[in-house]
Amino acid sequence: MQCMCCVEVYAQREERKRIMPASTTAAVTEPVKKDSVPEIIAASMVGTAIEFYDNYCYSIAAASYFGAIFFANVTNPALAQIMAFTTFAVSFLARPFGSMLFGHFGDKMGRKKTLVIALLTMGIATFLVGCLPGYEQVGGVSVVILCVCRACQGVGLAGEWSGAALVATENAPASKRALYGSFPNLGAPIGFFCAYGLNLLLTTHLGQEQMGAWGWRIPFLASVVLVIIGLYVRARMSETPVFQKASEEKRTSKHPLRDLLPYWKEVVLGTVAMGITYTLFYVLGTWSLSYGVKGLGFQQSEYLLLQMVSVVFFAIFIVVSCVYADKVGRKKVLLAVTAATLVFSFFTPFLLVHSAAHILVFLCIGFVLMGGLFGPCGAYLPELFPVHVRYSGAGLSYNLAAIFGGAFAPTIAQALVNSKFGVAGVGWYMAIMAALALLALFLIKEGKDKDYEL
């Protein structure tokens, strides 16, 4: 009789399990684990800080040294500079491939594992740039190796931002998703400050001659320290609760890129809408350094100091714009700041003169606008896509925008200055990119809470 009672109790228990909703069962047996806010900040911010540190170390070297080191056979300095800026673009051209690669695994396997691999790929490539021989040692092979390392940098970078943005926003309460989305974007001014600060310190103590000979290598080699810290933080983080829940409910995708096809309009419009962000970024941070030193006659250390002051405004307005984006909506904030960037573009020629005050105004206003554009995109782009293709969709939009708006921004700006258009051409170039972004923002729908709530 006792056995029969046991059987009956077991049968009743199984019946209750059968009629219980799947989500309730999952909630009872496997509670969703969430990291603390400091852990979320560290995990999402550290990789983006390293990403922008790497990119800005390369942009400083390309603007200041690579023309002479890797294109020593080019007798025209202006042409050598344009060729150096072209190698800068290689990373961006590799990004769509990296975005599709890491997006596939990020949507299929999870955010955590993918971010660790992306960070490692990026770090190794950056370290190797600091070890490369120049043209005088191995000839044109040096340029080939440089471009391969730069392409590998781009592949790693492609998987970084979108994954970091998801770590932040998929851990965020709905009312603070844009604010949480600012965490990875705050890595940009931190990386900028570290890269420019270290280069300023080295330039001040070593001088331009020693920097051109060997000092430029130090920032690339020093990146290994940041990568080790980043890997430690990333190894300790948890998978995002949104992806955990989607995985338990079998809502992840086996073929994310194929499943992304119905969202091609969101990818295209997101790319164009964010293009001006990258254009502004690399006109301010990369091209203007070269033009300020070689075109306007500033000392390298002087211009680097001006840029470091202005980047503080970049960091502040990333947070300010995200606070407002949570209150009034991401699209409204992006429309307002993009329109302000369009107006700012027409004042660019009047500010790019040999005057520290004028340059500081140009850089500070530019980085205020840059913060206003870059901040909300951490929530805006991921919200355009449902969870099963979010890594792929947000990453592809972000990295195609890098090509569309940023890859050739320094090259185009330098070519316009060398042409009959002069500095005014740079202003018109920025205005056209801002106008295209405005059009895309008008056409695209406001992002929705697709599969965010637990």
Residue 25 has pLDDT above 60, yes or no: no
Residue 355 has pLDDT above 80, yes or no: yes
Residue 367 has pLDDT above 90, yes or no: yes
Three-state DSSP at 172 gives: coil
- Of 393, 366, 69, the C-alpha closest to 260 is 393
Q: How far apart are CA 416 and CA 305, in angstroms?
A: 26
At residue 230 the predicted structure's pLDDT band, cuts being 50, 70 and 90, is confident
Give residue 279's pLDDT: 95
Q: 432 or 182: whose pLDDT is higher? A: 432
Q: 389 or 451: whose pLDDT is higher? A: 389
Q: 449 or 29: whose pLDDT is higher? A: 449
Q: How far is CA 157 from CA 91, 103, 166, 265, 374, in A?
A: 8, 12, 15, 24, 16
Percent of the chain residues topping a pLDDT of 70: 88
At residue 33 the predicted structure's pLDDT band, cuts being 50, 70 and 90, is low
- In this structure, are residues 132 and 188 in contact, taking their beta carbons and an 8 Å threshold? no
Helical segments of 20-76, H only? 22-29, 37-64, 66-70
At residue 317 the predicted structure's pLDDT band, cuts being 50, 70 and 90, is very high
At residue 7 the predicted structure's pLDDT band, cuts being 50, 70 and 90, is very low
Q: How far apart are CA 115 and CA 233, in angstroms?
A: 11
Q: 31 or 46: whose pLDDT is higher? A: 46
- In this structure, are residues 329 and 380 in contact, taking their beta carbons and an 8 Å threshold? no
Name 304's Cβ contacts closer than 8 Å, sequence gap at least 6: 196, 199, 200, 203, 289
Residues 206-213: contacts with CB under 8 Å, at least 24 apart: 208/300, 211/64, 211/65, 212/64, 212/65, 212/68, 212/69
Give residue 351's pLDDT: 95
Give residue 421's pLDDT: 93
Task: Share the mean pLDDT of the chain.
Answer: 84
Domains and CATH numbers, the chain: 38-443 (1.20.1250.20)
Q: 324 or 448: whose pLDDT is higher? A: 324
- Residue-wise pLDDT for 64-76, tens only, equals 899 889 998 888 8
pTM for the full predicted model:
0.79
